[in-house]
Structure 1
Amino acid sequence: MNAPIGVIDSGVGGLTVVRELRKYLPNEPIIYIGDDARCPYGPRSAEEVLQFTMEMVESLSKMGIKMLVIACNTATAVALDEIRMQFSFPVIGVIRPGARAAVKASQTGEIAVLGTMGTVNSKAYDGAIQQLRPDATVHSLACPGFVPIVESGEYRSPQAREVVDQTLQPLHMYSFDTVILGCTHYPLLQEHIEQHFSSQKQIISSAVETVVDVERILNEQQIQSSSMIQPIFYTTGSIKKFQSIVEDWLSIKQPDVRAIKF
């Protein structure tokens, strides 16, 4: 079934999931929508996040996707259940896969979660982790400066390192052995985060575990593709800026990036 997998995010963060999809499932066509013009979602109300997410999903549904990945932790926390009720194709969020990976990795059961204000306030990771490991202790930290610096394309800059170092200081009062990057933008800052913790922590991105779930559903429903088609990207923001991040992060020359409005 050569219909595409749809991937949505508040901006460019979901490209971290696309990178793993292309690595492990190279024959799967992908259509991506990044809502850069209205990013970040973290400080927004649940009603706004649900509305914006629904607009993206409805557009992808009209394009004929066979599966949806909500590659935004905030949107997953707010909208996953509602979207599953309204659409017939399989829908995967990134929170439960991230929680599962962290529980597997942690020796002590003490886990730090870096997320947006919306994700942290939802306590979605707390619930997902403690469902898998009831004795786990979760230390959540909102990182409001992370998404803007990634969206600006400055994630490799000295300024990005400064933002990471300042933001993560409050976590030093806790003991934990595992850190979840609870926003798909954050893996673009992973090098800075690892350096901050001096490689003493297990750093978990939900992207790889999410692809495990995608592959399982493709196999169960027998809807795998066999075509080598380049991804199509839509953005509500700057095409030029989006193209430059796709080229850098996914190593795709002249990516097919198109404008979309809601």
Structure 2
Amino acid sequence: MSREAPLGVFDSGVGGLSVLAHLRRTLPGEDFLYLADTAHVPIGARPDEEIRDLTARAVAALHERGAKGVVVACNTASAFSLTHLRERYGTGDEPFPIIGLVPAVKPAVAATESGVVGVLATPGTLRGSLLQDVIRQWAEPAGVRVLTVVSADLVPLVEAGRAASDEAREVLREVLTPLRDAGADQLVLGCTHYPFLAGSIRAEFGDTFALVDSGAAVARHTRNVLCGSGLLREGERGGSVTYLVTGDPERARPVITTLVGEGGQNTRVTQVTT
């Protein structure tokens, strides 16, 4: 696998664009293939085996298109699929790194002053074992109380380009008020869609919570993995991004354009089959 090949990034929808932004800043010489499985989003309420199958199909599609590795920029997909993916792609003669997300409980625990950390999760992330594993590893030994809340409504709102809508703020007010009342001062954003809700969270709760997500950490880790595998493409040339979706590209294009902050003519979205 050549270091000149692009790096794949996968999410069930457009949420992984929040991770892609960190990757582009940390890895300015890399080209990226971003694949959003918009035909099946949201995946959090789907059966475990279906989540693994959809993720495996997406990673296979990126591999077939020449990606040199894949960042699974989805908390739910990471929770259910990383072990299976690494078993499948870790046995070849050439390295094909699979990099996933871990809920950012560790930095939230380190930063809390109140001793209470909130986690805003999706149904799938809450159901998986990864979140509970990191809570046991980092919060329990520190005596920090972790409170989890879940919403099935927020991801569809971000996918529809309505992260700043009154409806999004109403949902956030309903699900986050118990965390505020319990004294949480850190809010772990347990889905890559949720950083796009930061403005709405601030509008409702001000500085009540410090917002913590995994984007910057996974970008640093990705750089280290690529360097260790001999796959890092150095340079400051400003790598390109190819946007792929499994659903309607015309529906996805304006949302992607808004979230990445590029001009409409700069955002080409292509439909693919996984």
Q: TM-score, normalised by structure 2?
A: 0.89
**Segment drifting more, 210-219 vs 168-177:** 168-177
Residue type at the aligned position of 1:150: V
1:95 paired with 2:102, answer yes
Structure 2 match to 1:261: 273
- Alignment partner of 1:138: what SS? strand
Q: Please say if residues 43 and 51 of structure 2, whose CA atoms lie closer than 8 Å, have aligned partners that are also in contact.
A: yes
Q: 1:130-189 CA deviation, whole Å, 9 max, x = no partner?
A: 313423322111111100101111112222212211232332442222111000011111
Q: 1:22-66 CA deviation, whole Å, 9 max, x = no partner?
A: 122221111111111111011111011001001001111112222
- Alignment partner of 2:244: what SS? strand
**Segment drifting more, 135-144 vs 183-192:** 135-144
Structure 2 match to 1:114: 120
Q: Please say if residues 126 and 138 of structure 1, whose CA atoms lie closer than 8 Å, have aligned partners that are also in contact.
A: no
Partners of 1:232 and 1:102 in 2: CA distance: 33
1:223 paired with 2:231, answer yes
Q: Which 5+ residue runs of structure 2 have no aligned equivalent?
A: 91-95
Structure 2 match to 1:3: 5
Structure 2 match to 1:62: 64
- Provide closer, same or farther for how the CA distance between residues 69 and 109 of structure 1 changes in structure 2, counting only shifts above 3 A: farther
- Alignment partner of 2:243: what SS? strand
Query: What are the equivalent positions in structure 2 for 1:38-57 lying under 5 Å apart?
Result: 38-57=40-59
Structure 1 match to 2:32: 30
1:159 paired with 2:167, answer yes
Partners of 1:213 and 1:107 in 2: CA distance: 27
CA RMSD of aligned residues (A): 1.7
Alpha-carbon offset, residue 4 of structure 1: 1.3
Q: Please say if residues 180 and 208 of structure 2, whose CA atoms lie closer than 8 Å, have aligned partners that are also in contact.
A: no
- Provide closer, same or farther for how the CA distance between residues 116 and 248 of structure 1 changes in structure 2, counting only shifts above 3 A: same
Alpha-carbon offset, residue 228 of structure 1: 3.9
- Alignment partner of 1:39: what SS? coil
- Provide closer, same or farther for how the CA distance between residues 100 and 3 of structure 1 changes in structure 2, counting only shifts above 3 A: farther
Structure 2 match to 1:129: 135
Residue type at the aligned position of 1:233: Y
Q: TM-score, normalised by structure 1?
A: 0.93
Q: Which 5+ residue runs of structure 1 have no aligned equivalent?
A: none
Partners of 1:68 and 1:99 in 2: CA distance: 23
- Alignment partner of 1:95: what SS? coil
The count of residues paired between Structure 1 and Structure 2 equals 261
Q: Percent identity?
A: 33
1:19 paired with 2:52, answer no
Q: Please say if residues 44 and 123 of structure 2, whose CA atoms lie closer than 8 Å, have aligned partners that are also in contact.
A: yes
Q: Please say if residues 233 and 258 of structure 1, whose CA atoms lie closer than 8 Å, have aligned partners that are also in contact.
A: yes
- Alignment partner of 2:23: what SS? helix
**Segment drifting more, 67-76 vs 155-164:** 155-164
- Provide closer, same or farther for how the CA distance between residues 108 and 215 of structure 1 changes in structure 2, counting only shifts above 3 A: farther
